[in-house]
Chain A
């Protein structure tokens, strides 16, 4: 039982490049979330998926797109990376009947 996994762990991009961050959970959770964490700003919600087949914008969605591929996987895409998207990205999941969000280990992204 791996919990929530994220790939890659680290990534360096040049401005304008695109990439997809992958997230998968093996806990049969219904809801999944993408956050970014910047120094001194806590975590900010980018997008979330309340259940398979649905996605919705969070606090800071501009510049990102998401896909809930199936119940297990929720990917985050940067179409044209900008230096302002340099951050640590966390994926999380939650089961309907429980309160707790379980976080993945994070992806550290640097955009030059």
Chain B
């Protein structure tokens, strides 16, 4: 099956700085890569996603890049704010059936 690895496990940045979280996947047939944000005690919520036919996608302060050759994708958050503090998960899926998640990155944005 698919194996998704996520780094770093914790990330601490100063408010206004950028944050980058990286994931690698093993199955070259995976074609959909979502990112979820989970606040403490809450459910995961989709923040951005990318399909394998696209190299980059941006939504305001959040962007995701995908390198299919190297089988890795990254989440970029610019101008971080304290409300960005949460756990972020990457995931990979082939045709939306099985979803494989990374182990999560706890982001702490210091005011």
Contact with A along B79-94 (1 / 0, CB 8 A): 0000000000101000
From known contacts A40-B103, A42-B103, A43-B89, infer whether A90 and B44 are also in contact, taking CB-CB under 8 Å: yes
From known contacts A90-B44, A101-B46, A105-B43, infer whether A58 and B103 are also in contact, taking CB-CB under 8 Å: no
Number of A-B contacts (CB under 8 A): 51
Contact of B97 among A41, A44, A56, A103 (CB under 8 A): A56
A48 to B6, CA, bound (A): 23
B45 touches A99 (CB 8 A): no
A45 within 8 A of B: yes
From known contacts A90-B43, A90-B44, A99-B34, infer whether A42 and B101 are also in contact, taking CB-CB under 8 Å: yes
Interface of A is mostly: loop
Q: How far in angstroms is the closest Cβ of chain B from A73?
A: 18
Contact of A43 among B49, B51, B101 (CB under 8 A): B101
Chain B residue at minimal CB-CB distance from A100: B46
A58 CB contacts on chain B under 8 angstroms:
98
A39 to B102, CA, bound (A): 12
From known contacts A90-B43, A99-B34, infer whether A48 and B97 are also in contact, taking CB-CB under 8 Å: yes
B111 within 8 A of A: no
Interface size class of B (residues with CB under 8 A): 20 to 34
What are 29 A-to-B residue pairs whose CB atoms are below 8 Å? A31-B96, A33-B99, A41-B103, A42-B89, A42-B102, A42-B104, A43-B44, A43-B89, A43-B91, A43-B99, A44-B101, A48-B98, A50-B97, A56-B97, A59-B1, A59-B98, A90-B44, A99-B32, A99-B34, A99-B46, A99-B49, A99-B51, A99-B96, A100-B34, A101-B34, A101-B99, A103-B45, A105-B43, A106-B43
Please name 10 further chain A to chain B contacts, defined as beta carbons within 8 Å, in addition to the given A43-B91, A50-B97, A105-B43, sorted by A numbering: A31-B96, A40-B9, A41-B103, A42-B6, A42-B103, A43-B101, A45-B98, A90-B43, A94-B96, A103-B44
List the 9 closest pairs (A to B, CB-CB), nearest first.
A42-B101, A103-B43, A43-B101, A42-B103, A100-B46, A42-B104, A103-B44, A99-B49, A105-B43
